[in-house]
Amino acid sequence: MAAPLAKQAGAVLRDLALRSARLRGGCPAVQLTSRRWLNLQEYQSKKLMADHGVTVQRFFVADSANDALEAAQRLKAKEIVLKAQILAGGRGKGIFNSGLKGGVHLTKDPKTVEQLAKQMIGYNLSTKQTPKDGVTVKKVMVAEALNISRETYFAILMDRACNGPVMVGSPQGGVDIEEVAVTSPELIFKEEIDIFEGIQDRQALQMAKNLGFKGPLQQQAADQIKKLYNLFLKIDATQVEVNPFGETPEGQVVCFDAKINFDDNAEFRQKEIFAMDDKSENEPIENEAAKYDLKYIGLDGNIACFVNGAGLAMATCDIISLNGGKPANFLDLGGGVKEAQVYQAFKLLTADPKERGGEGALCCCQQVVQGRGWQSIGQESPSASVQATQQSCSQCHQMAFLCG
Amino acid sequence: MTIRIYDHHAFMTYLQFSSVMEPQEKKKIILVKQRLHFAWRSRALQPSTVFCCCRCPCEGTMAHCHTARLLGRFLRLHQNGVRHCSYSASRKNLYINKNTKVICQGFTGKQGTFHSQQALDYGTNLVGGISPGKGGKTHLGLPVFNSVKEAKEQTGASATVIYVPPPFAAAAINEAIDAEMPLVVCITEGIPQQDMVRVKHRLVRQGKTRLVGPNCPGVINPGECKIGIMPGHIHKKGRIGIVSRSGTLTYEAVHQTTQVGLGQSFCVGIGGDPFNGTNFIDCLDVFLKDPHTEGIILIGEIGGNAEEDAAAFLKENNSGPNAKPVVSFIAGLTAPPGRRMGHAGAIIAGGKGGAKEKIAALQSAGVVVSMSPAQLGSTIYKEFEKRKLL
């Protein structure tokens, strides 16, 4: 039931966990990096948007200081913004281990761009959302800096309540939209789009009006909105969020930044996009798990979970907490689990240094009963004593075990 | 009669109808761009005001299908029922029994073959299957057809189960809707959300076909008919209706109710996808009306509003001395806000959709919420004891 489902779990878990961590004020219970459904760097998302006619700041990508200089010169912009390309947020306030402060810099001089890039590329940038040691910056984005005279918020998402695509916008952009929703709900505008009829001109225009665009900018904004909607459908996104969807003093409507969430289920028909997936900022144990098609998410406890089925996995973590323990991980074997996977899963769990003891949860798998997994693990980790209580209550024997 | 239309949902419905309205009828409709709950508070709504298809969350009593039907009559529209209205008419198609003839789409594939054999072993009245291009052949001793239409005509089947891989599953569902199959159970997981949005768009505007799933374990009437992948032999014919978003967690509830001797009247796995064919309310409605279902177990999880909506439904339809006992478990209570573990549908966003809120909503509707999934059987047993139903 949960094969690709739990796969998404890791992605969104990270994406949102950090937001909640910041809200809680304390340090996050887990060392997680901020992640999107699919790991696209900023320049990749912007290129995707640009390819679909959405107006973004002109930019080039560089992976050396020299290239950065060339890019800055080619750009011929009045002012240049240099941005380190890492997946985590909070770049502006981050620090490089080269000593450079800030992952985002503005300058008018291409030479400065080169100097700054020298201190960025190949060094680690630590922000509030990265692990302590930071993340190595391999690429930088050299973009035309544009002034923003007005910031609005615009998003398109697949909404369950409306059973289809919904546009959400607010003339109050740039800040946390959830705050706006609470303090000034009348500033949030929603419009349902019929998936078969597509976005109507009047809908796009009305949204542009609601966002506060006036005069010729209205039509420009409406065009951008239509293009964003087409992008949203074309790439099988579950959400495209543009914040800020801004206005420049020169009279341009520009998408200054975007977050795109992709539907993992659409991977089979979005191969190009999924090929851009950057796994380098994942925890290695997750990449390892993904290799064997196991859905693993590290948590902060010391009781291992090993479960077949996402709902059951969640319930298992609940039960552990209910009894005073702390789950060390969420691990969903999925429906079609094979012996080899079970073995690999065990290896992952026992290799995890956080584990002091492990409690396995229900395992719906004939292969495990057959014991190959048990024996092999028994040999490799003699401290693990495996007790299996077999309850034959289904054709694929359900089994609870303790591994301590 | 003046018709005022509030709320963008109503506006959408108006747009739907307006294409077939006469010009003079259009003039009688006043579009009011106030949000419904502001209108309510400002007492702008009068008894003579008719409004349609409002789903304003502030007051559950506002939006009613009968109002929409009134509007429909006024506008002389009969062909398209208003959405939600006609589709809920297909809820009755969930009642499967030993006479239900079932066909299988994706019959000759690996999953289709395995689970069809399991179904036959269980005693399900499987009468054939579909595998385009293999029509005329025989598989597992049953006829293979090229299309759902053909299979339905030749076998008289009234239910189909889909084991078609994700790239083609939405088309398979569409085919079943075209053929007006009363019940479609889609087991496939991994169907792109956009595909399901399109399927659902069609689905809710008709009333002949009921979809369960996708990404669900299926529907079972223990001892009579099993449509899906659930392990048959943990079930026992009995008195409890079970509805769940999770697959394997459902089997927990089933096992426990079997062990305490209560058994199950009917089990529906609605699946974990965000866009699916059947929700909690659909199943609760069926359970409340079914004389064989004396108690209900509802298994939910974090994310979305399905459990809250179910609680509101139960408050309205299952209260008083004859209320059926309902026990629930919500998975993901210990998932911190912002975390998502598992189903595509299970996601907490911005404070809503958390397990605590769901539990509170259900409790206020008289549901007994168990904190542990291991006590579902014992909890409902106690409820039966209390009500002297044993």
Using CA atoms, how far residue A95 sits from A84, A100, A282, in Å, is 11, 6, 20
> In A, residues 180-209, which contact B (CB 8 Å cutoff)?
181, 190-192, 194-196
* Cis omega (within 30 of 0) for bond into A131: no
Q: Decide if B325 contacts B319 (C-beta within 8 A).
A: no
| pLDDT computed for residue B330 by the predictor | 94
Q: How far is CA B150 from the centre of its chain?
A: 27
Share of chain B above pLDDT 70, in %: 74
Of residues B163 and B47, the one with the higher pLDDT is B163
Cα dihedral across residues A76, A82, A88, A93: positive or negative: negative
pLDDT given for residue B61 in this prediction: 34
Task: Write down the pLDDT at residue B269.
Answer: 96
Q: For residues A186 and A11, what is the distance between their CA atoms, to the nearest angstrom?
A: 32
For residue A356, what are its two tokens? 């002091």
CB-closest option in B194, B299, B347 to A236: B194
For position B102, what pLDDT does the model report? 98
A16 touching B (Cβ < 8 Å): yes
**B305 pLDDT band (50/70/90 cuts)?**
confident
Count of all residues that appear for chain B in the document: 390
Check residues A251 and B7 and name the one with the higher pLDDT: A251
At B132 the pLDDT is 94
d(CA A232, CA A246): 19
The residue of chain A with its CA nearest to that of B216 is A1
The answer to whether A269 and A236 have CB atoms below 8 angstroms apart is yes
Rounded distance between C-alpha atoms, residue A37 and residue A20, angstroms: 17
Interface contact flag, B338 A17, Cβ < 8 Å: yes
Pairwise CA distance, residues B192 & B234, whole Å: 32
Secondary structure of A135-172 as H, E, C letters = EECCCEEEEECCCCCEEEEEEEEEECCCCEEEEEEECC
Answer whether B347 touches A (CB < 8 Å).
Answer: yes
Nearest residue of chain A to residue B352 (CA atoms): A178
pLDDT, tens only, B262-276: 999 999 999 988 899
| pLDDT value of residue A175 | 65
pLDDT (mean) for B35-41? 43
In the residue annotation, A153 being an active-site residue is answered as yes
pLDDT (mean) for B66-84: 40
Place of tokens 């039509």: A219
Q: What is the mean pLDDT of chain B?
A: 81
Per the annotation, where are the binding residues of B for substrate? Answer: 251
In the stretch 284-343 of chain A, residues with CB closer than 8 A to chain B read 297, 307-315, 317-322, 327, 330, 332, 335
Estimate to the nearest angstrom the gap between the alpha carbon of A346 and the chain centroid: 27
User: Between B68 and A172, where is the model more confident?
Assistant: A172
Interface residue B344 vs chain A (CB under 8 A): yes
- Say whether B334 and A393 touch across the interface (CB within 8 A): no
Q: Tell me if B333 and A5 make a contact (CB, 8 A cut-off).
A: no
How distant is the Cα of A110 from the closest Cα of chain B, in angstroms? 41
Contact between B192 and A395 using a beta-carbon 8 Å cutoff: no
Backbone angles phi, psi at A158, to 5 degrees: -85, 115
For chain B, give the percent of residues with pLDDT over 90.
66
Q: CA end-to-end span of chain B, whole Å?
A: 54
Question: Can you give the pLDDT at residue A276?
Answer: 87
A317/A315 Cα distance (integer angstroms):
5
Planar angle of CA B145, B149, B150, nearest 5 degrees: 40
Distance from CA of A192 to the nearest CA of B (A): 8
Chain B nearest C-alpha distance from A171 (Å): 18
State how far the Cα of B377 lies from the Cα of B261, in Å rounded to an integer: 9
A309 with B247: Cβ contact below 8 A: yes
**How does DSSP assign B234-296, residue by residue?**
G--EEEEEEEES-SHHHHHHHHHHHHTT--EEEEEE--S-SS-S--HHHHHHHHHH-TT--EE
Catalytic residue among A42, A43, A144, A153: A153
Mean pLDDT of successive 10-residue stretches along chain A, which has 404 residues = 44 43 32 43 92 95 94 93 87 90 93 94 89 90 94 90 90 76 83 95 96 95 97 94 91 90 91 84 72 70 75 82 80 64 71 49 36 37 32 31 31
A167 in contact with chain B, both atoms CB, cutoff 8 A = no
Q: What is the pLDDT of residue A363?
A: 38
- Can you give the pLDDT at residue A321? 83
Question: Which of B118, B349, B373 is the closest to A315 by Cβ?
Answer: B373
Which candidate in B122, B199, B220, B248 is best for mutational testing of the A interface (most A CBs within 10 A)?
Answer: B248
Quick check: B19 pLDDT over 60?
no
Nearest to B243 by CA among B274, B210, B275, B220: B220
Considering only B181-185, B200-204, B298-302, which range has the smallest mean pLDDT?
B298-302
Q: What is the DSSP letter of B8?
A: H
Task: Give the per-residue SS3 of A28-64.
Answer: CCCCCCCCCCCCCCHHHHHHHHHHCCCCCCCEEEECC
Between CA B374 and CA A97 the distance in angstroms is: 51
Residue B334, pLDDT score:
79
Helices B7-18 and B65-74, interaxial angle, to 10°? 30
Instruction: Select from A9, A29, A236 the Cβ nearest to the Cβ of B340.
Output: A9
